[in-house]
Amino acid sequence: MPTRSTRPRRHARERTVVEVTRRLFDERGMQDAPIEAIARAAGINRALIYRSFASKEELFIVTVTHYLDELTAGAEVPSEDPVRALRAALEYYTTFCLRYPAFLDCALSLMRRPARELRELVSDAVWLRLGQAMAAALHPLAEILRAGKASGAFAIDDPDFVANRLYTHVLGTMHLARIGLGVRQAAPGLPDTFRLEPEQVRAACVADAMAAARVIV
C-alpha cells in the first residue's frame, strides 16, 4: 500500500502512463500499442506500469475514463428544445468519435466481456472510476431524453435505457468510419468493397439514433 510520501509519485506515474497510452492509441490504434511500447514511450520499466495498474484491462479502463471525462467536459448546455438538444448531443458525440478513433477501440474492447468478467480483472477504485465517468457522460443525454419524454417529443419508456442504447449504437456505427470500408457482393461468390466516408457514416449514425429516440412530429 502506498505511503503518503510515495502517493504523489505514484499518481504522477499513472498520469504519465495514461497520457502516453492515449497518445499511442490515437497515433497507432489500440492493437498496435502493447504494454511494452507504452513503457518504452513513457521511459519506464513495464514492471512499474503494473505497480499502478493491476492488469492491461485496468490500464485501458483508466484510459477510457480519460476519454469520457473529456467527452463530458466538452458537452454544451442543451437547448430547451429536446429534439434540437438531442441532435446537437449526437452530433457532438459522433464528432468526438471521429476525432479520437482509439476511443472506439478502447470502449468496444471493454464491451467484449460481460460486466461481471471485466469486474474481476480490475480494482474497486478503477471500477468506480469507470462507473463515475460513464454515468457523467450518459447523464446529459438521459436528461435530454427525460425532458423530451415529459414534453411529448419522444415516445420512449425509459430514458436511462435509451441513453445507454444510443451510447452503444453510436460506438458500433461509428466503428464503420474507423474501418472505412463496406462489403458487398459484386457477383455470386465474388465479394467487393466500397469506401465509406466518415461524414457519411456520422450523418447516418445521427439519423438512426434520432429515429431510435422515436421523435414525435
Q: Which CATH number goes with the domain that contains 159?
A: 1.10.357.10
Residue 72: pLDDT band with limits 50, 70, 90: very high
Same domain, 104 and 207: yes
Residue with cell 436528461: 143
Cβ partners under 8 Å of residue 43, min gap 6 = none
| Domain membership of residue 178 as a residue range | 58-212
Question: Are 84 and 9 part of one and the same domain?
Answer: no
Confidence of residue 191 (pLDDT cuts 50, 70, 90): very high
Q: In terms of domains, do 1 and 96 share one?
A: no
Q: What's the alpha-carbon Rg for the chain, to the nearest Å?
A: 20
**Mean pLDDT score, 109-137:** 89
Q: 21 with 117, same domain?
A: no
Higher pLDDT, 17 or 94: 94
Same domain, 105 and 202: yes
What pTM does this model have? 0.83
Looking at residue 41, what is its pLDDT? 78
pLDDT score for 106: 82
155 lies in some domain? yes
On whether both 64 and 7 belong to a single domain, the answer is no
Q: pLDDT tens digits for 26-64?
A: 776 666 667 777 788 778 877 777 777 777 778 888 888
Q: Is residue 133, in this structure, part of any structural domain at all?
A: yes
**CB proximity list for 12: less than 8 A, separation 6 or greater:** none
> Is the pLDDT higher at 43 or at 71?
71
With respect to residue 3, please indicate whether it lies within any of the assigned structural domains. Answer: yes
C-alpha 57/C-alpha 3 separation (Å) is 25
- pLDDT of res. 121: 84
Same domain, 112 and 167: yes
Higher confidence at residue 118 or residue 30? 118
Question: What is the pLDDT at residue 181?
Answer: 94
**Which of 52, 68, 87 is the last residue before a domain boundary?**
52
Mean pLDDT of the chain: 86
Instruction: Let me know whether 123 and 84 are in one domain.
Output: yes
Whether residue 88 is found in the same domain as residue 160? yes
The larger pLDDT score, comparing residue 74 to residue 76, is at 74
217 part of a folded domain? no
Q: How high is the pLDDT of residue 217?
A: 56
